[in-house]
Amino acid sequence: MGTALASIAACLVLAWLYKVINWVWVKPKRLETCLRHQGLKGNSYRFLYGDTKDNLKMILDASSKPILLSDDIAPRVDPYLNLCLRTYGKNFIMWMGPKPRVNVMDPELIKDVFNKINDFQKPAVNPLVALLTKGFAIHNGDKWAKHRKLINPVFHSEKLKSMMPAFYHSSNDMVSKWEKLTLDSADGSCELDVWPDLQNLTRNVIARTAFGSSYEEGKRIFELQTELSGLVMQALVSVYIPGWRFVPTKMNRRMKALEREIKASLRFIINKKEEALKEGKAASDDLLGLLLESNLKEMKEHKNKKDVGMSLDEVIEECKLFYFAGQESTSAMLVWTMILLSQHQEWQRRARDEVLQVFGTEKPYLEGLNHLKVVTMILHEALRLYPPGILVNRETRKETVLGNLTLPAGVMVSVPILSIQRDPDIWGEDANEFKPERFSQGVFNATKGQVTFLPFTWGPRICIGQNFSLLEGKMAVALVLKTFTFELSPSYTHAPYNVISLQPQHGAHLILHKF
Ligand code: HEM
């Protein structure tokens, strides 16, 4: 009996060892040979870590010093990728641990990557990131399609109209706070770091638009989510050990407690809203109400079918996704827009003239915001130079053809948005300069119809919140321009860096003058 057990144990250990050796050595080397035969350059695979150690070291080094406003930001923001581009050209492989990642910058290939969503799937997320959200942004296949279909109506342009009061009140709260600071000073000016206030603005917008009347509870959930993101980020910089998250360390216990509290608070809000909706009491004009309405409709229409609609847990995860996806990126877009307009006073003046011409002393309204041409050009140029998401990844699950390449299963494909949007081959020699006039005839003309402007990516998985965030951004920019002129403070240091989104590492110190 004992010998039989020992043999089974030995077999299990051998099987496990085989899997580990295959994962860390045999498979990466096989993939490397296959990719090199097809002409792809890049560093050789290094055991377990691949390029990740060098990548991290270069990021830490680059982020230890600021750069000049006139410098290219790529060497600071993504130094390793930038080095590979210079060393190997645009088509190369980088090693994300034992996984090869192919860099793709050809517009036709990018189109394929974003269009063929079943061939190029979202990579599995680190279980730590899944603590923050398991919403449809991380799913593939039928589950993604089902959730996207249910959530699409929530972001329909006619529904955005009902979000206008939330955009206005949140922007107005911020502008009133700044106005008070300028009025309290003798010369009607004040110096401040606008970055935390812009983050607060976009948080308030999501709390208001997601939960309507439950806004205060929504804000509390945000505080918990922010603490949880901080802990997840801390855990992510250490080497990921499978299963470590179950060890009851102080940090792991806190993460679990936060996750439980967030879930319980969301469950409470959702139940309250669902009850009210069923009784016909609540106007479903917030994101959660609209989502529940879309869900109820689907369940009624297909009540005899299996697996229809979303469960309560799935709705909870989608609410967490609104927080996660909707906030950081929009505040990043706004902060870089303000920094660029501080540097380029002529464009600031043109944008203000337009805002005053459209709204005069009136509160900004939907149709007016939709007609702001100069402001839209400026937002697009800010999103080109400082895309909140600098890179997106996909992964092959089976042998897949991409242009001249045949990629085996298990290869990551990366679209480096920042490098593409600053590529002189695509945008011309002035690619690194702020020139909103590029977008004077719209995005299609600016890109000559190619897939080269990608702040929201492209294809079926394009950002669902694109119109939402642009409208929110226009409201905030219009109110700021109506109230202040602004410039960079001498204490501003230019230090773009990438943590989830492209952020100003040392804040955004500006001087505001009451207009
Ligand atoms: C300036 C602001 C924003 C930027 C630059 C941005 C950017 C992006 C990008 C690049 C993706 C695609 C990621 C990928 O393909 O891997 C994406 C997806 C997504 N975004 Fe946004 N986003 C913004 C605002 C928002 C807002 C306000 C919301 C919601 C309230 C939102 C919700 C989502 C969702 C749910 C997805 C997943 C779509 C899918 O997988 O089908 N985003 N966003």
Distance in angstroms (rounded) separating the CA atoms of residues 451 and 119: 18
CA of 154 to the centre of ligand 1 (A): 14
Q: By alpha-carbon position, which residue is closest to atom 36 of ligand 1?
A: 463
Distances (CA, A) of 376 to 22, 224, 365, 371, 484: 51, 34, 15, 9, 19
Count other Cβ atoms within 10 Å, centred on residue 123.
17
User: Rounded to 5 degrees, what are φ and ψ at 41?
Assistant: -100, 180
Q: Is 280 exposed, middle or buried (0-12, 13-18, 19+ CB in 10 A)?
A: exposed
Check pocket membership of 461 for ligand 1, CB cut-off 6 A.
Answer: yes
Distance in angstroms (rounded) separating the CA atoms of residues 82 and 96: 15
Per-residue pLDDT, 153: 87
CA of 47 to the centre of ligand 1 (A): 34
Per-residue pLDDT, 239: 55
Residue ranges at the known binding site for heme: 463
pLDDT digits (tens, 9 = 90+) for 61-105: 999 999 999 999 999 999 999 999 999 999 999 999 999 999 999
Check pocket membership of 325 for ligand 1, CB cut-off 6 A.
Answer: yes
Per-residue pLDDT, 232: 85
Among residues 137, 230, 219, 224, which one has the least CA distance to residue 499? 230
Q: Indicate the fold that domain 40-89+98-126+137-514 takes in CATH.
A: Cytochrome p450 (1.10.630)
Distances (CA, A) of 480 to 336, 356, 370, 389: 14, 11, 17, 25
Among residues 427, 434, 406, 356, which one has the least CA distance to residue 73? 434
Per-residue pLDDT, 237: 60
What residue spans define the domains of the chain?
1-38, 40-89+98-126+137-514
End-to-end CA distance of the chain: 87
Pocket test for ligand 1, best of 116, 120, 157, 329 (most atoms within 8 A of CB): 329
Q: List, in sequence order, every beta strand (DSSP E) within 258-323.
A: none
Counting from 1 in the atom list of ligand 1, the atom nearest the Cα of 469 is 27
Task: Give the CA-trace dihedral at 163, 319, 312, 124, to 10 degrees.
Answer: 140
Per-residue pLDDT, 241: 66
CA of 91 to the centre of ligand 1 (A): 26
Q: By alpha-carbon position, which residue is closest to atom 1 of ligand 1?
A: 330
Q: Residue 414 pairs with which residues in a beta bridge? A: 103, 393
Check pocket membership of 463 for ligand 1, CB cut-off 6 A.
Answer: yes
Counting from 1 in the atom list of ligand 1, the atom nearest the Cα of 460 is 41
Check pocket membership of 211 for ligand 1, CB cut-off 6 A.
Answer: no
Check pocket membership of 289 for ligand 1, CB cut-off 6 A.
Answer: no
Q: Which residues of the chain have pLDDT under 70?
A: 1, 237-242, 282-284
CA of 393 to the centre of ligand 1 (A): 14
Per-residue pLDDT, 464: 96
Per-residue pLDDT, 275: 85
Q: By alpha-carbon position, which residue is closest to atom 22 of ligand 1?
A: 463
Check pocket membership of 209 for ligand 1, CB cut-off 6 A.
Answer: no
At 469, list the tokens.
């965030």
Q: By alpha-carbon position, which residue is closest to atom 11 of ligand 1?
A: 463
Distance in angstroms (rounded) separating the CA atoms of residues 224 and 216: 13
Strands 189-193 and 120-121: unpaired
Q: By alpha-carbon position, which residue is closest to atom 41 of ligand 1?
A: 461
Burial track 473-507 (b if 16+ CB lie within 10 A, e otherwise): bbbbbbbbbbbbbbbbbeebebbbbbebbbbbbeb
Residue ranges at the known binding site: 463
